[in-house]
Structure formats: C-alpha cells, structure tokens
Amino acid sequence: MKKLIFALVALLAFQPLTAQNKIKIERAEDLPKHYYDLKGNKAMDYINNRDLLLELAATIESDLKDDLEKYDIQDKATLRGYHSNFSTISFLKNDLQPALDQIYAGRKLTEKESDKYLWNLTEEVYIKTRLEDPDLPEEAFKAAFKKNLEAALEKIPFAVVQEDVEGMTGSLDILTANLIQGIIEGQLQPIIDKADKQVPAFVAKELLGMRMTYDMTLPYVADVYKPVFQAYYDKNHVDVTLVDIWKDRDADLDNNTQLKPVVVGIWDTGVDEAVLPENNRWVNKAEKPDGKDDDNNGFVDDVHGIAYDLKGNKVSEILFPIAEINANYQQYEKYIKGLMDLQAMIKSEEADELKKYISTLAPEEVNPFIENLGMYGNFSHGTHVAGIAAKGNPQARILAARLTFPYENIPAPPTLETSKNWVELYKNTVQYFKDHQVRVVNMSWGYSQNYYESLLAMNGIGENEEERKALAQKLFGMEKDALYTAMKEAPEILFVVAAGNANNDIDFANNIPSGLTLPNLMKVGAVDIEGKETSFTTIGKGVDVYSNGYEVESFIPGGEKRKYSGTSMASPQVVNLAAKLWATNPGLSVAEVKDLIIKGATPSTEKPDILLIHPQQSLKMLE
C-alpha cells in the first residue's frame, strides 16, 4: 500500500494543476505580474530584429503558460487577453494554425454580440488566407485576402456591428508607419529607459503587437482593409436606421413650474459654468471672486465649486488652466472633433484636417500630439458631463468639484505625500457636498491598484515586484478607504459612478469608485441609442443600470456642443434622472430615488439582465 501511495504522489507531481488546486484570482490586483530585462536594447530593435523579438516572445509565452498552470483566473476579459497574446506569439513564430486556434478560443469567451463576430476577425481571415496557399505571391495574396475578408463580412449582420465598423474604418484613415513608430519611440521607449531591467509586461507585449501591426496591418490598409470595410459600410448603412429609444424615454421638465432646486455635484475634471444656462449654475453667495476665502471655509473663490490640482492641493480654478500649458489648445478641440467624426464615419472639415495633419507627423512629433489630445480630453470632460446632468431640468444647480488627472505618457508616480493629500481631498470634498446640500454626485472616473503599481514600474521605482505591489497596495488602500468612508458618512447623498470603458467585469476590475459597494452608490454601464451594449462598456452583476453612452451631445468649454462616447456620458444621465426626481419631490430619500430609477428601468431586449433607465416611467411612478 505504501508503494502505491508513493507512486500516486509521484504521478500527481508531474500532472498539470487542476482547477481545484489552482490559486483562484477574483480581483485584478491579484493577477500575476511579470517584468522583463531588455538588456539595453531599444524598442525599435525588437521591431527590426526578428530573432530578438522571438527571444522575447518565447519568454513571455512561458510566463503566460505558467500563469494558466498556477492560477484559476475568474475573468473572461483577462482570459481573452491571454488567448490574444498566444495568438500573436504564434503568428510571429509563423505557427499559423495554433494562432488561429487561439483566436477561436478567445472568441468563445466574448460576452457582447458584436464581439462574437468581430473579435480578432481580420487576424482570423489573414491567417486563414495564408494557410489556404502559403506560397501565393504577395499581390495574389492581397487579392485573396481581400476576397476572403469581403466574404466574411457579408455573413455578419450589419446592425449588430455598425458602431464597431464605423470606429474601425475611421481609425484606418489615420494609421501610418510614422504614427506606429512614434508611439513605439515616444511612449514605449521612455518607459524602457526608466524601468531599466524591470520593464512591465504590458510594454513587452505591446512590442509584439506592434510588430504584428507592421506585418499584418500596415501593408494592407490601402488595398484591403480600407476599401473592404468602406464598401461593407456603404452597402449596408443606408439599409439600417437606428431606432433612438431615448427620445421616447426622455423627460423634459423645462415647463414644469412646481419644481424645487436640487444641487448636483459634478466631481470631475472641472466645469466651464459659463456655458450652462444661468439657472443651472450653483452659486455660493457667501463667496466673491476676489482671491480671498470670504466665507472662511478653507477654499478660495469657491463661487461655483472647489478644485484640486494633480498632487491633491487646493486651487481656485474650477476649470483646468489649459492655456497656461498649451496656448494652441483650441486646435486640439478641432482634432478631437475630427477623431470623433472619423470614428462615426462623418465627413467634416475637422476630419479632413486631422487626417492631413497626422499624415505629416514625424515619429518624434507623435507623442506630444497624443499627450495634447489627452490634455484637451481631460479639460473638456467635466463640462460635457455637467451639460448632460443638467439637461431638461431648470432647477438643477451644478456644483463643480474639480479633480486633476495626468495626461502625460509617463505620469508622475504615486507618493506617500500625494496619497495623503488625496485622502484629505476625498474627505473635504464630500464634506463640502454635505455642507451645501448636494443631493446627487456624478463620478465619471476611476483607477486601480494595478494602475498605481504600473506607474511605479514605469518610473523605475521599487527593487522588485513585491516592493512595488506593497507600496501600491498601501497608497491605493489609503485613498480607497478614505473615499469609502467619506461616501459612507454621507448617506443622504447619492453617488453615481461610471462603470468603466475597458470591456471587462466591474467586480473583477475592482477600481475606485466603481469597485465600492454602498447603499448610496449606483454604477452605470453604457448602451447605444438602440439600447444595445456598447463595445467598450464594463459589464457585470455589479452594474446597476445602463443608459446611453454613445455619441451623446453636450457642451464643451467655450459653449460649443460635441458628441462624446463612454460610460462617462452614461453616468450623468442617471444623475439627470435622480435630480429630476428630487426636483419633483425633495422629500425623497436616497433609497427611494434608487428604487424609482431601478423599478422604472426596462430589461434590454438583447440581454434581459441589463436594465435600461426610463426617465418617464420613473417620474410617473411618483404620481
């Protein structure tokens, strides 16, 4: 018997771990982290030297396989990423059938209808075309690839994938070799320089993906991808009229004379209050714009709200002073509009101008361009959100609470000093909301412990993974606990947060604030004008309701109106509804408002477990 036992033990020792023996991973911060020593090589060396690239690919592949042997990862989005990486590595090794198999394995894990058709579709068709006849001359291959891609798209219902096809086709207009090289040299190389021998895994994986872009995408943009997707769009979009379900759900209270004022907090990147209708601007009557703290509350010039800079220090400007950093910032507003138009297949002067400008960019000009786009995106974000929250409610009073987020390629790392400041920021901001009778607050932002750990690695901080994780856990934990406590101690305020735009599971991601659970908090996902899930929205059981987050029109600083997409645009629509409920009946509790929003919502025809807000029904329930 002893021999039999020993034999079984020896046999089991050499078997793959079963799911029962694996370490279960239920939160993103617990995922294994990997770092790589690039041995002094430059990022472009891996693009230009295939042997060097394959050596790195082999190391990454080994780590990924080890992860799946040791860990039971409870997140489909993460597992899709593993399959995508395996497929890329197999492709680079010219192992085409395994690359194709990994695409199919990853697609089985998709949860959104459009992903079931489009996830890695172009890669699939490319590889299948190569496998059909490996010896085709290049021009003949292009023709075959084009024909096969056309045939694949013909089988896909356009109504399901229209928005994704629009975005993909628009992006092809600005994809150039200089743009890719600029991203590699301007974004990845600085991280490699700072991280030294501990380059984060996402940088190494990005190098593999960029090499694949050089091989599989760039040579075929003009002759295959662009004409095929454009033809597919042109043939089908005229036959599909998207039904806007929100027009029949919206509730406009502009003509209601029985409303009561309701203060709405926009906790975001700042608000240009001047673009809002005058009646929608919250005013602190005890303060004057004179550079003094007239009401002795610790904030200078808080006439329309409060503000903090990137380090968590109090400042007086509730709108980020972008002109001090980039005097040409208005040009970037045009570029962002051009980008949005391209991705929506809208012909415009701004779209043409953007295409022309990007085509002239040298590689060294790419990163400054991207950073300036990010700066303007941050600058305009809060104003856009505020306009959505106030729409159709003459009694909404927008109180701005400005946060400042980084836009640089390598943001400054978190420190104990800045985290202590943010702890105070969270406490003081929520107290400010309480002091001024804010009823509902929008929070269209978020970050994670993993983000902090990545920032430390990107800046070359920490001797090893354990040290970085411990520091990230400490700093992020301080901030998370402070925010949780502040919100918990304000039970009379409803906090509404954007679920996120990472096409992942909200509970697994465990960001703040969307990873928090409180009775006075709601989490919002994004659907389109038809009520279908957007390709980007974070999903999961933790998402309470969904609203329109696709091409939503609202103000930007200066007063123009633009269409932005994201759960950032979905969340303030729930805030808008909550504010209308309170304006109609100020005596409602937070629990009652949540109940009215959820009970008034209707199940999605696409996925019954998704609840779509219905402002008219929620307001009728008050009667």
Residue-wise pLDDT tens digits, 182-235: 999 999 999 999 998 999 999 999 999 999 999 999 999 999 999 999 999 999
Which among 534, 530, 553, 556 is positioned nearest to 543, based on CA atoms? 534
| Pairwise CA distance, residues 180 & 162, whole Å | 26
Q: Are 335 and 354 in contact (CB under 8 A)?
A: yes
Phi, psi of 254 (to 5 degrees): -60, -30
Angle in degrees, CA 539, 451, 337, rounded to 5: 65
Q: Which long-range contacts (CB under 8 A, 24 or more apart) does 602-605 make?
A: 604/527, 604/531, 604/532, 604/533, 604/546, 605/531
CA atoms within a 13 Å half-sphere pointing along the CA-CB vector of 398 = 34
Name the pLDDT band for 19 (thresholds 50, 70, 90). low
Place domain 262-330+366-449+492-620 in its CATH homologous superfamily.
Peptidase S8/S53 domain (3.40.50.200)
Name the pLDDT band for 4 (thresholds 50, 70, 90). very low
| Pairwise CA distance, residues 453 & 470, whole Å | 9
The whole-number pLDDT of residue 526 equals: 97
- Which amino acid is located at 122 in the chain? T
Give me the torsion for CA of 359, 361, 363, 367, rounded to 10°: -110
- Which amino acid is located at 473 in the chain? Q
Q: Are 499 and 526 in contact (CB under 8 A)?
A: yes
Sign of CA dihedral 443, 163, 377, 392: negative
| E strand or H helix that includes residue 193 | helix 189-195
Name the pLDDT band for 242 (thresholds 50, 70, 90). confident
Task: Average the pLDDT over 129-137 and give the result.
Answer: 96
Is the pLDDT at 17 greater than 70? The verdict is: no
| Pairwise CA distance, residues 451 & 476, whole Å | 9
pLDDT tens readout for residues 397-434:
999 999 999 999 999 999 999 999 999 999 999 999 99
Could you tell me the two tokens for 332?
A: 């970037």
Name the pLDDT band for 340 (thresholds 50, 70, 90). very high
Q: Are 69 and 99 in contact (CB under 8 A)?
A: no
Q: Rounded to a whole number, what is the distance in angstroms from the first to the last CA of the chain?
A: 77
Is the pLDDT at 7 greater than 60? The verdict is: no
The whole-number pLDDT of residue 6 equals: 30
**What ranges do the domains of the chain cover?**
2-239, 262-330+366-449+492-620
- Which amino acid is located at 100 in the chain? L
Beta pairing partners, 24:
72
Q: Are 570 and 437 in contact (CB under 8 A)?
A: no
pLDDT tens readout for residues 288-331:
999 999 999 999 999 999 999 999 999 999 999 999 999 999 99
The whole-number pLDDT of residue 105 equals: 98
- Side by side, the strands of the sheet bearing 521-527 are 314-315, 305-308, 396-402, 262-268, 438-443, 494-498, 521-527, 545-548, 611-612, 602-603
| Pairwise CA distance, residues 182 & 365, whole Å | 7
| Pairwise CA distance, residues 414 & 423, whole Å | 13
CB-based contacts of 356: which residues, under 8 Å, 6+ apart? none
Give pTM, 2 decimals.
Answer: 0.94
Which among 58, 117, 125 is positioned nearest to 85, based on CA atoms? 58
Could you tell me the two tokens for 508?
A: 């697994």
Q: Are 561 and 546 in contact (CB under 8 A)?
A: no
The whole-number pLDDT of residue 20 equals: 60
Cis-peptide into 513, omega within 30 deg: yes
